[in-house]
Structure 1
Amino acid sequence: MKLDPWASDRIKDYARLRDQFGLGTLTPDAGGLPEGTLFRRSIVFAHRGWDLFGRALADGKPTALMTGLMPSGKMHLGHKMLLDQVITYQRLGTDVFIAVADLEAAATRNVPLDACREFAVEEYLRHYIALGLKPCQFYFQSERLQVQRLAHQLSHKVNWSKLEALYGFSNSTSLAHANAPLLQAGDILHPQLEEFGGPRPTLVPVGVDQDPHLRLTRDLAAAMRMVRCRQAKDGRVGAFAPPADGVEKLLKDASKLCRKLGFKKQELNVNYGALYLDDAGAADVEYIDAALAHVDASHGGFGFVSPSSTYHRLMLGLTGGKMASSEPDTAIFLADSSSEAKRKVKRAQTTGGQTVEEHRKTGGTPLECPVFELYAYHLMDDDSRLKEIHDGCADGSWFCGECKALAGDLLGEFLEGHQSRLAEAN
């Protein structure tokens, strides 16, 4: 199975994907996980490094969230699913950063920068405000010099072989396209620069097809650190720093911090650049490493805390493939009229029987149906009512026609209300 941030196909087996790429399972009872349909229904289903972010969120400590938008297609319900998460975290006090990936759009989709600006404001920012987003850091890659400079600094820590392995780049890949992942890494890490709030747990909620960016950025965050906590080959946990001037002072400051954290059984070996913490275990590594970020920063390092990420399922297109802005009949756009949305739903591909008799006999497969996804992801907060629809579809007592009619009505109500708020957002 392959993940391509710019052109992933429909994903059919999320459990296999999760296991293949080493993602953690995100269950509704995970510590610090917000309430909401996307979380309790495991539509947001996997993670990297959630425990660190979840603990900070639950404890009321400073956190940041980084997301972005590609200004090259109209906003649809798949995009709304991400904004629903962003707004949830913003209401919990998380600092929100939203990048308009105009440089990436120019590099990978040949969209002029001026067109990116107009499209981002008219087609995305207005909808974001109407959906409930409050003031935050909303910026353009082409105008945020800190991101561009950071991308350049990060480029010293990655080679072509790694980009080729992560993204499938080839000899025909343009350098502008190859630079796009480094800009993404700069976007993700720059909220931890001192001028934007300093080192703190940062969450990047994404569709699972974007995971290559997170793998790269987590590796780069670690590579930029002067001192890190990890488990050595012999199983001992410690803080480690490469040989350099000032390493003894760096490790002694790390020792003081670790004692405050409760890890007092220590062995300092300056020649090896090691501070062993013999009362720490593998489960403590992430927590200690995040705390050491502040020591790193105090010695002139970046002090990046490895970013956390959550992954949501990708919405099915109404015609059966992937929902895409470039194929209007696959998606419900937030600018669609109520009548247009109902037309699309009425024509949607479903999994029920071809005839009434066949459907009564075999039922449908709701978890593979794009109309059922409209209910589960956006239209129905009531879990018991959703279960009735699911079970009725599966046992053949709830027919596709009435299912589409109800979904069309609920969708029409949502769009009319949203577009009324959109007029106010202007």
Structure 2
Amino acid sequence: MYFHTTMPDEFTVTPWEVKGKVDYDKLIVQFGTQKITEELKQRMKNLVGELHVMLRRNVFFSHRDLDLVLNDYEKGKGFFLYTGRAPSLGMHIGHLIPFIFTKWLQDKFNVNLYIEITDDEKFMRNPEYTLDQTRSWAYDNILDIIAVGFNPDKTFIFQDTEYIRNMYPIAVKIAKKLTFSEVRATFGLDVSSNIGLIFYPALQIAPTMFEKKRCLIPAGIDQDPYWRLQRDIAESLGYYKAAQIHSKFLPPLTGPEGKMSSSNPETAIYLVDDPKTVERKIMKYAFSGGQPTIELHRKYGGNPEIDVPFQWLYYFFEEDDNRIKEIEEEYRSGKMLTGELKQILIDKLNSFLEEHRRRREEAKELIQVFKYDGKLAKQMWEKIHE
């Protein structure tokens, strides 16, 4: 299959599955994206004054046309952000990574953001789910997304089943440009796939055409195939090819392979996990790069490259570059034990989740603003996208 990426070392990255230990350099070559260079990072730093921890540490590592987005911004043309989520029964820490980075981009560049909640696709892709279920999950997930702290006047959060009237005309034009063979190859569909899933990519592409500016999409690199289809057809419809900035996958608790799964509780920390649950999961399931005994660990040290608690701290939870270097050195030398490293992560996670839950409660008062009544939301409900 054209977009089904399986490497000789046996890792797989598709929009619906990530398996094995991902070699991100190989993935850049395979997907035909560009590496985010030090030069590009310096350009961003010059424009906004600093770099987000996930850019400094190459968690966001690959792009398409990020240089053109920065050109447009420098020329005063601007750009807009687009990301989204297929709702699920409970979000985990991994789901928040693109949203946290997207908030930083919105804050720094002061741009509009569109967040698509694909309650339709989730329903169509899973035979056992009802539409009522996916809509109910959408509400819960939207609260978690609002809790990240987006600008309510410049952010529009919409569910496909609600906003379909406004975006159907542009979706139809997109759909007419996509062939069944392209969609089937990109998304692993076959003759038993329901026809909703064949049409659905048009709806995910539609928000890239909400403005006559370049669209920048921060997302996991597994979502890249959607945007390749968009880039094939955008200019023929009078719009820009969508630009992307791709993140790596936060490794599951159980080891450095694959990505976290909502359906596999021991792989993930959920946003609703209480402090005791977080402690139990990290201590019991978090894959360690340490030695089997304290004596051996003191002698040989640990391996942070495969140690999941260290990786989580490195990705996001320890933002201080000097401190993360210190932790790495102490762990490698054997001075810091596995249990001590895990405890650092437990404390960081619990303080993060406590703050997140507080903001999530406040989000219940803001959901109408982000979906219907905010400045951008109001404009969007008055607009039919042609």
Please state which band the TM-score falls in when normalised by the shorter chain.
Answer: 0.7 to 0.9
CA positional deviation for 1:60: 4.6
Pair 1:307-2:242 in alignment? yes
Q: Write the distance in 2 (CA, Å) between the matches of 1:376 and 1:58.
A: 31
Structure 2 counterparts to residues 14-53 of structure 1, below 5 A:
14-30=24-40, 31-32=43-44, 35-53=51-69
Structure 1 stretch displaced more, 107-116 or 304-313: 107-116
1:255-297 per-position Cα deviation (integer Å, ceiling 9, x unaligned): xxxxxxxxxxxxxxxxxxxxxxxxxxxxxxxxxxxxxxxxxxx
Q: Aligned pair count?
A: 340
Aligned residue among 354, 367, 373 for 1:416:
354
1:57-98 per-position Cα deviation (integer Å, ceiling 9, x unaligned): 345532111111111231111111111112112212111001
TM-score by length of 2: 0.83
Task: Kindly report structure 1 stretches of 4+ aligned residues shifted beyond 4 Å.
Answer: none
Structure with the bigger RCO (C-alpha within 8 Å, sep 6+) is 2
Which structure has the bigger radius of gyration? 1
1:13 corresponds in structure 2 to 23
2:147 corresponds in structure 1 to 130
Pair 1:393-2:335 in alignment? no
Aligned residue among 91, 104, 107 for 1:88:
104
2:218 corresponds in structure 1 to 205
> Tell me, what secondary structure is at the counterpart of 1:138?
strand
Q: Write the distance in 1 (CA, Å) between the matches of 2:192 and 2:295.
A: 54
> Tell me, what secondary structure is at the counterpart of 1:366?
coil
Rate the CA distance shift 1:212–1:53 in 2: closer, same or farther, 3 A. same
2:296 corresponds in structure 1 to 358
Q: Write the distance in 2 (CA, Å) between the matches of 1:174 and 1:11.
A: 32
1:375 corresponds in structure 2 to 313
Rate the CA distance shift 1:103–1:149 in 2: closer, same or farther, 3 A. farther
Residue type matched to 2:309 in 1?
V
Aligned residue among 196, 200, 217 for 1:176:
196
1:150 corresponds in structure 2 to 170
1:227-264 per-position Cα deviation (integer Å, ceiling 9, x unaligned): xxxxxxxxxxxxxxxxxxxxxxxxxxxxxxxxxxxxxx
1:167 corresponds in structure 2 to 187
Pair 1:118-2:53 in alignment? no
Q: Write the distance in 2 (CA, Å) between the matches of 1:187 and 1:115.
A: 24
Aligned residue among 328, 336, 345 for 2:273:
336
Unaligned residue ranges in structure 2 (runs of 5+): 1-5, 7-11, 365-386
TM-score by length of 1: 0.75
Q: Write the distance in 1 (CA, Å) between the matches of 2:137 and 2:13.
A: 27
Q: Write the distance in 2 (CA, Å) between the matches of 1:340 and 1:59.
A: 50
| Identical residues among aligned pairs (%) | 32
Q: Write the distance in 1 (CA, Å) between the matches of 2:180 and 2:83.
A: 25
Rate the CA distance shift 1:60–1:359 in 2: closer, same or farther, 3 A. farther
> Tell me, what secondary structure is at the counterpart of 2:97?
helix
CA positional deviation for 1:188: 2.7
Q: Write the distance in 1 (CA, Å) between the matches of 2:172 and 2:301.
A: 56
1:253 corresponds in structure 2 to none
CA positional deviation for 1:150: 2.1
Q: Write the distance in 2 (CA, Å) between the matches of 1:57 and 1:398.
A: 45
Q: Write the distance in 2 (CA, Å) between the matches of 1:392 and 1:134.
A: 40
Q: Write the distance in 1 (CA, Å) between the matches of 2:301 and 2:168.
A: 54
1:351-410 per-position Cα deviation (integer Å, ceiling 9, x unaligned): 211122332344333132221122122321110110111222233332111000111112
Q: Please say if residues 317 and 349 of structure 2, whose CA atoms lie closer than 8 Å, have aligned partners that are also in contact.
A: yes
Q: Write the distance in 2 (CA, Å) between the matches of 1:128 and 1:29.
A: 31
Q: Please say if residues 28 and 39 of structure 1, whose CA atoms lie closer than 8 Å, have aligned partners that are also in contact.
A: no
Structure 1 stretch displaced more, 129-138 or 352-361: 352-361
